[in-house]
A and B are shown apart, each in its own frame.
Chain A
Amino acid sequence: MTNSNVTTVTLKVNRFTPRPERERDRARGGSPFARTRKSSPFGGKSDAPARRRPRGRQWVQEYTIPARPEDTVLDCLLAIKRTVDPTLAFRYSCGHGMCGSDAVAINGTPNLLCTATLKDWVKPESGMPVLDDDGFRRTGDDAADADGAKGSALPESGSLGVIELGPLPGFPVERDLIADIDPMLDQIRKLKPYLEADGVLATTHEGKVDVFEYLQHPDELAKYEQLSNCIACGVCEGSCPVFAGGDAFIGPAALIWASRFVNDSRDTITMDRLDAIDTEDGVAACQSVRACTRQCPRGIDVGEEMWQIVAKVRER
């Protein structure tokens, strides 16, 4: 291999190592991650960001490694683990967008490591960090430059550019790119995320059971099939400006799951499900920003589904 056609990428990774447990327990006191509070996202929560700020060592680490434009960000991180730094922590499993483990912030935007390719995400080298200390993305000129770089020819050698990585926004960081997404799973679990059918089987006109599965016409399936493809990765939640850690707003993911059962012809507790989300921290907290739609790896139009479920709640 000659060096002339080797390209590189620079990954700037927001890293975090938690304090050793004993120290941390004392610091945590009365469980800063408690999820039982019921309050509006807008009232009396000015202390929220400070409360969630993780305790431990935080720094930004730069890795420059050989890479090709068509490599995924996950490919690069695995290469870093193998060849440069085995201590870098990030979740990953199937590597092709089905397991939902590897949602992080890529250049500030929630996305999956294994479906993001370098050519879609590299930005030109620049001195300015994408995320500031509070995790906000810088907008304006820098972002415009980045958009301009898309589609332009990438170099055949030298640096492809820079990608900045951080943990999934909206959730507490646990280590490096690993975030605590239990709040999302707790919220999904709160809304009875399982089929409640009537148990009645189809019968012949003599009253004999003739089919043991519940019958469902393809048109009925189409009403919820795509919703059932949600992989609970958390990308929509990390994109939602209201969600912010799941302290209040139940979040787009849990609502998608609720909607999946509301739209399933086999389910019998539609009214209960609609009641359960008709709360100030339920559908009422959604501000229709629709940021949740943009990066869904399963192609679900989350924002539109939010709109539909709100309509169903109102119409009942």
Chain B
Amino acid sequence: MEQWGDMSPKQLEDMYDAVIVGAGAAGLSAALGLLRSPETRQMRGNGIDPKILVISKLQPLRSHTGSAEGGIAASLGNIEADDWHWHYYDTVKGGDWLVDQDAAQLLAEYAPETVINLERGGVAFSRTDDGHIAQRRFGGHTREFGGAPVRRAAYAADRIGHQILHALWQQCVAAGVAFAEEWYVTDLVLTDDGSRAAGVVAFDTHAGKVHAVKARNVLFATGGAGRLFHTTSNSWDLTGDGMALALAAGLQLEDAEFVQFHPTGLAHTGILLSEAARAEGGVLRNADGEAFMERYAPGHADLAARDVVSRSIMAEIDAGRGVADPKDPDGRRDCVWLDMTGIDPDHMRAVLPQVVETIEKYADIDPSKDFVPIKPTAHYTMGGIPITVDGEVYRWNAGDAETDGTDGATGSRGVVDGLFAAGECSCVSVHGANRLGGNSLLDACLFGTRAGRALAARVAAQPVDDPMAVDDPDVQEIDDAIAAAADAASDARENELKDLLTPRADAADDVDDVDGTTAADETDDNPYRLMADLGQVMERAAAVRCDAAGLEAALRTIDERLAPRAEALVAHDKTAAFNQEVTAIWEVRHLIGLARVVLAASDARHESRGSLKRNDFPERDDERFLAHSMTDASGRVAWQPVHIVDIPPKKREY
């Protein structure tokens, strides 16, 4: 312990029962689900302690879960009558029927249990006068299947994510969970035949060393990929690592084309300004001062659904009626105004303290006097690593079906043994084409816990420390395969690290030949600059709306310019310890791999649904695309039918 501190393992185990990657709501819930399961209790009763390690590229308390503000949805009915069937219906409708209804049923039915367990774990929920968990309204949550709004979002002032993250970490401290903090996972390792998880390769950023972490079970809970886009509400760390690693391991991503944009990001910072700003009377205006939302959504105007408002803003900008961010007056006119001057200043401070503080702090504007520049901001990836309702990662085998979307009726899920995922990096498909507010924390906690329990069953069936299994040749054979695969991947990564830390004199020249841009830009490239350039390319092509020509151009730019630059990157300093540039090089490579898949999946879906707006295919097309896209690293797309249980598709109207 003295040598490493408590936040890194003193010594890695030769073999882990389970390695969990990511320590936000999903990863921590999985760890607790595993340790609190009856299987683990029984194992411990037999004197066998499961060997678990949680690896995170951040100290767990820094995870992005902590930034969630609004609430976690559950039909507790603490304020007014509610029913989980109503929540289920709202989730399916909100997702524009691209939701697997069996998964959404579980989400809604076990939401109250999930929230109550969080409360019992210490979350400081806001309370009703009689001491129950307080609940508030949230967009799209209704009573009686699409009726009046219902108070379903359990909240803790405007800090629910912080509260949940801290309470889960606290419970993990109580449970004695072992963490490897500020370790960056560079590889998901499968056995050679791709049938089974074998562990991960991880870069200990403190020591600057690469480790093979061998494990019979692996769970990914690495969060979203908002950093694909220049303007995002996501933290700098949400670089889609888990999704990219799954692709690199030969797996597919489900529904990668669905990225939710929150309409009111604070101009180029992307920091969220809550919907409450509009609920309290804020009005969106274009460059001419017109309150344009009434034109797009008569009757609803500024309080229309998130995806509708984001699309309307983008249409104004595309029509040349946008404004420049005052912080960048000569930049693109890619914002519109949020006019809050009609709200009484005292009332504004009383009911929108966080909004006012953010505007004052980060835009240096007094919202009671001046218009605030806003812009849709990349907020949530609905798609991700495909999982079953127990968190098992699977491959979609399309069978004989055509892969052009006209026939997806046949096919099967092939589970990868011992590989699990949970949270935003995964797709159990409860969010479909558009996530409802309050459902993301719920998804992470609920399906994280379920995945943890499923892990426990696998671990208990064959624990590493099982004294009876020492001479079992079958077990030994599997462990040997795991070790061989993990060591090989680790060796390869170690060699790459050496290269990255050895400055190459000719690197810049190579890139110059491929790239067409100015030499001065390219002679000293770095991953931070490349990430910014990628964000601009993605934003132009795929933010909020897209069409075939734009998607194709972006793919070409990535293949011909950005990807070669990414391959040519090396670190500018050779000291490995705390060398953030090395991590950033891997991050930007991950983002580029993921960007290709997002673009390919967007290109393959010839319809508009939920968050995906194709200007060249403006209507939803249930005949051909009531199906999940399943896209691999090469951009090949297969289609998996949506699970419809008892809510047949109809037009999504609010």
Binding site for B on A (CB under 8 A): 1, 17-18, 20-21, 31, 33-36, 68-70, 72, 78, 81-83, 85-87, 89, 92-96, 98-101, 115, 117, 174-176, 178, 180, 182, 185-186, 189, 192-195, 197, 211-218, 221, 224-225, 228-229, 231-232, 264, 266
Contact = CB atoms under 8 A, between A and B. Distances in A.
B62 A101 contact: yes
Contacts of A214: 119-120
A209 to B, nearest CB: 12
Contact of B170 (A86, A99, A194): A194
B127 A228 contact: no
A180 B5 contact: yes
Interface in B325-371: 327, 330, 358, 361-364
Contact of A87 (B124, B131, B171, B573): B573
Given A82-B532, A213-B133, A93 B327 contact: no
B134 to A, nearest CB: 8
A30 B109 CA distance: 55
A96 B271 contact: yes
30 contacts: A1-B330, A18-B577, A20-B576, A20-B577, A35-B2, A83-B529, A87-B572, A89-B580, A93-B64, A94-B64, A94-B66, A95-B271, A96-B67, A96-B271, A96-B358, A98-B66, A99-B61, A99-B235, A101-B58, A174-B206, A175-B575, A195-B122, A212-B116, A213-B115, A214-B119, A214-B120, A224-B124, A228-B124, A229-B162, A266-B122
B132 interface: yes
B358 A194 contact: no
B450 interface: no
Contacts of A231: 61, 66, 162
B611 interface: no
Given A82-B528, A99-B235, A224-B124, A21 B62 contact: no
B373 to A, nearest CB: 13
Nearest to A182: B5
A95 B272 CA distance: 12
Contact of B124 (A83, A175, A225): A225
A93 B174 CA distance: 26
A92 B236 contact: yes
B81 interface: no
B157 interface: yes
A34 B527 CA distance: 36
Contacts of B46: none
A195 B170 contact: yes
B130 interface: yes
Contacts of A99: 58, 61-64, 66-67, 235
Contacts of A180: 5
Contacts of B17: none
Contact of B578 (A34, A178, A189, A264): A178
B647 interface: no
Given A99-B235, A266-B122, 14 more contacts: A17-B573, A21-B576, A82-B528, A96-B358, A192-B174, A193-B173, A194-B122, A195-B122, A213-B132, A217-B129, A218-B127, A218-B129, A221-B124, A221-B127
Contacts of B173: 189, 193-194
Contact of B575 (A17, A92, A98): A17
A93 B171 contact: no
Nearest to B206: A174
B362 A72 contact: yes
B222 to A, nearest CB: 14
A194 B174 contact: yes
B431 interface: no
Nearest to B78: A213
B64 to A, nearest CB: 7
Interface string B53-76: 000001101111011000000000
B235 A95 contact: yes
Nearest to A189: B173
Contact of B236 (A93, A192, A194): A93
Contacts of B170: 193-195
B163 A228 contact: yes
B122 A96 contact: no
A81 B130 CA distance: 52
Contacts of A93: 58, 62, 64, 235-237
A105 to B, nearest CB: 18
Contacts of A21: 207-209, 576-577
B364 A70 contact: yes
A231 B166 CA distance: 9
Interface in B103-147: 115-116, 119-122, 124-133
A100 B61 contact: yes
A197 B120 contact: yes
Given A93-B58, A180-B5, A214-B119, A86 B129 contact: no
